[in-house]
């Protein structure tokens, strides 16, 4: 058999499906997995596509099966597994060969690996892949970071396997070293916020309006036909309609309310803070998942804090129309914060990220695909006023029109005693950004009082001190 065009290591859910996708697009792909049973399983399940798969039982066999320059995709667990596989493969490769990490790596690791491999004459591509199992098999969104000349070697394969939006592949080379993995991280951060906001709507309807899951699911299905059209709203409708086969109960009610997280949401928040930003909607979503893990404490809290049950007298019903607009407004803020974070990182690391292109490759294939992304791409192409998506005319108008619905929703939630951390964060950001004058004049005064930090005066000049005198501590 002729040499394979590309190799793939790691045949769990994502890797196996990506291998089948590559094979289906006509590229011979050599496949390897540490536990070799997975290789046999893939070959057995591949059907006709097995003709384009080259099983390699060892790393040596994998390398021997590849045409030069060799390109090998790693689709193993993020973290130590990636370093382990690189450690096995790198000594077997020649200068000019390319390793491509397609897992959810922390972009700092990607930058480190790129440097280390460059010293050995090897190229390293950090490639974020979104779309889950289905996306990997039939077309994910692919965010690439690395040297353009390395990407040129695999570009035809990447574009062939990616999702398409009206014919345009949802794959792009976005910048050097860690740029692709950073964009994937922020994608996941936005995903966290989007999922949390949808869950907040569910909570308000379930606990505030006593609606059943099937009914709430129908509402999401309706919304999916309008401006909220998105993969996450669509699957939420399906999830809420599903029944548990064992009990006949709504499936969602049989699921323990404790969510896991693997790191990308948290990394978005950490990076945002490190860059002097606050992606507060993402932070709220990450925090909500952490609180969800405190199940025993929350059960205890329900007893200990029972006296704090709100009277509910002042609370008004949350209207479906308000919720739809509130979700739209909050989602715009989450995406805007994500884009602001991308922009800040782009400046910090000199990546020159094209925000419009990023929005374009998120239009299909990825988990946050939604009708809004095409409009966001257009707004970013036109240039974001002050770098803010929420100031782009179309979004400023949408957000302003929906803001009172968001306000009523957050107010009703507060009066009913129902937590809506992501909605609240979105509203606070919106209200902060629409006020020219904030309250940090007092903070500056406090800082000067105890620490002689000095402040700028509104009538000019920095380094002023207030007339507080006395003893300063600090
Ligand atoms: P997992 O993240 O569960 O990783 C399992 C794979 O890693 C197996 O092939 C396993 O080999 C291999 N592996 C491990 Br663990 N340690 C290894 C080591 N020391 N040496 C060699 N191989 C090792 O698989 P996944 O869910 O398919 O995800 C793969 C990557 O894609 C991850 O980075 C994930 O974050 C990312 N991702 C996942 C999704 C999703 O929806 N699942 C979506 C987008 C991105 P073994 O079979 O021998 O144990």
Q: Are residues 279 and 338 in the same domain?
A: yes
Q: What is the mean pLDDT of residues 117-125?
A: 96
Q: How far, in Å, from the CA of 76 to the mean position of ligand 1?
A: 3
191 counts as catalytic: yes
Give the model's pLDDT for residue 157.
98
Calpha distance 399→197 (Å, rounded): 16
In a domain, 290, yes or no: yes
Q: What is the mean pLDDT of residues 315-328?
A: 93
Q: Are residues 456 and 379 in the same domain?
A: no
Q: Is the CB of 19 under 6 A from ligand 1?
A: no
Of the three residues 177, 202, 231, the one that is the final residue of a domain is 177
Q: Is the CB of 140 under 6 A from ligand 1?
A: no
Q: Domain total for the chain?
A: 3
Burial class of residue 53 in the structure, from the number of CB atoms within 10 Å of its CB (0-12 exposed, 13-18 middle, 19+ buried) = buried
Active-site position among 191, 271, 360, 364: 191
Q: What is the CATH number of the domain that holds 321?
A: 1.10.1040.10
Q: How far, in Å, from the CA of 11 to the mean position of ligand 1?
A: 8
Q: Is the CB of 129 under 6 A from ligand 1?
A: yes
In a domain, 1, yes or no: no
Active-site position among 114, 184, 271, 331: 184
Q: Are residues 57 and 205 in the same domain?
A: no
pLDDT at residue 334 greater than cutoff 80 = yes
Residue among 16, 31, 34, 76 to mutate when testing ligand 1 (max atoms within 8 A of CB): 76
Give the model's pLDDT for residue 371.
87
Q: How far, in Å, from the CA of 66 to the mean position of ligand 1?
A: 22
In a domain, 206, yes or no: yes
Determine which of 136-150, 162-176, 303-317, 393-407 has the lowest per-residue pLDDT on average: 303-317
Q: Are residues 295 and 328 in the same domain?
A: yes
Give the model's pLDDT for residue 314.
79
pLDDT at residue 474 greater than cutoff 80 = no
Q: Are residues 256 and 118 in the same domain?
A: no
Give the model's pLDDT for residue 372.
95
In a domain, 414, yes or no: yes
Nearest CA to ligand 1 atom 11: 34
In a domain, 371, yes or no: yes
Q: Are residues 281 and 135 in the same domain?
A: no
Closest Cα to residue 29, out of 70, 76, 80, 77?
A: 70
Residue among 12, 33, 139 to mutate when testing ligand 1 (max atoms within 8 A of CB): 12
Q: Is the CB of 40 under 6 A from ligand 1?
A: no
Q: Is the CB of 65 under 6 A from ligand 1?
A: no
Query: In which domain, by residue range, is 163 found?
Result: 6-177
35-63 confidence digits (pLDDT tens): 999 999 999 999 999 999 999 999 999 99
221-278 confidence digits (pLDDT tens): 999 999 999 999 999 999 999 999 999 999 999 999 999 878 899 999 999 999 999 9
Q: What percent of the chain has pLDDT over 70?
A: 99
Structure tokens at 81: 């597994």
Q: Is the CB of 25 under 6 A from ligand 1?
A: no
In a domain, 402, yes or no: yes
In a domain, 285, yes or no: yes
Q: What is the CATH number of the domain that holds 79?
A: 3.40.50.720
pLDDT at residue 1 greater than cutoff 80 = no
Q: Are residues 444 and 428 in the same domain?
A: no
Closest Cα to residue 128, out of 172, 83, 81?
A: 172
Backbone angles phi, psi at 74, to 5 degrees: -105, 120
Q: Are residues 52 and 148 in the same domain?
A: yes
Q: Are residues 385 and 455 in the same domain?
A: no
184 counts as catalytic: yes
Q: Are residues 198 and 171 in the same domain?
A: no
> pTM for the full model?
0.95
Q: What is the mean pLDDT of residues 103-108?
A: 97
- Average pLDDT of the residues of the chain: 96
Residues 87-110 as b/e (b if ≥16 CB within 10 A, e otherwise) read ebbbeebeeebbbbbbbbbbbebb
């Amino acid at each position: 058999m002729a040499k394979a065009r590309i190799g793939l290591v790691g045949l769990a859910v994502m890797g196996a499906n990506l291998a089948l996708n590559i094979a289906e697009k006509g590229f011979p792909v050599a496949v390897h997995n540490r536990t070799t049973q997975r290789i046999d399983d893939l070959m057995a399940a591949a059907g006709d596509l097995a003709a384009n798969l080259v099983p390699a039982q060892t790393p040596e066999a994998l390398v021997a099966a590849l045409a030069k320059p060799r390109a090998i995709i790693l689709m193993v667990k993020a973290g130590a597994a990636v370093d382990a596989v690189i450690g096995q493969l790198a000594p077997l490769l020649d200068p000019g060969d390319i390793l491509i990490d397609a897992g959810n790596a922390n972009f700092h690791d990607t930058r480190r690996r790129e440097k280390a491999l460059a010293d050995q004459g090897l190229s390293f591509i950090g490639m974020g892949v979104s779309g889950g199992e289905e996306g990997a098999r039939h077309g994910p969104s692919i965010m690439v970071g690395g040297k353009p000349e390395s990407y040129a070697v695999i570009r035809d394969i990447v574009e062939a396997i990616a999702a398409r939006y009206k014919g345009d592949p949802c794959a792009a080379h976005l910048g050097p070293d860690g740029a692709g993995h950073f964009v994937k991280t922020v994608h996941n951060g936005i995903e966290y916020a989007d999922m949390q906001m949808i869950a907040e709507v569910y909570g308000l309807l379930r606990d505030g309006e006593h609606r059943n899951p099937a009914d709430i699911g129908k509402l999401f299905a309706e919304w999916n036909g309008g401006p909220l059209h998105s993969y996450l709203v669509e699957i939420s409708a399906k999830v809420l309609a599903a029944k548990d086969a064992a009990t006949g109960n709504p499936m969602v009610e049989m699921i323990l309310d404790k969510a896991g997280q693997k790191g990308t949401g948290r990394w978005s928040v950490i990076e945002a803070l490190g860059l002097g930003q606050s992606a507060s909607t993402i932070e709220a979503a990450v925090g909500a998942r952490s609180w969800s893990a405190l199940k025993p404490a929350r059960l205890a809290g329900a007893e200990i804090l029972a006296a704090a049950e709100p009277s509910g007298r002042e609370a008004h019903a949350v209207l479906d129309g308000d919720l739809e607009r509130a979700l739209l407004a909050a989602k715009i803020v989450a995406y805007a914060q994500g884009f602001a974070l991308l922009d800040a990182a782009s400046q910090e690391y000199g990546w020159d990220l094209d925000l419009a292109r990023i929005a374009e490759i998120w239009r299909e294939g990825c988990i946050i695909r939604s009708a809004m992304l095409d409009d966001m791409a257009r707004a970013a192409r036109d240039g974001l006023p002050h770098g803010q998506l929420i100031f782009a005319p179309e979004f400023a108008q949408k957000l302003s029109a929906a803001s009172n619905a968001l306000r009523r929703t957050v107010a009703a939630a507060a009066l009913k005693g129902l937590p809506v951390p992501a909605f609240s964060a979105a509203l606070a950001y919106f209200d902060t950004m629409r006020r020219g004058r904030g309250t940090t004049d007092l903070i500056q005064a406090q800082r000067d009082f105890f620490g002689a930090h000095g402040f700028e005066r509104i009538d000019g000049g920095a380094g002023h001190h207030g007339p507080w005198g006395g003893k300063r501590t600090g």
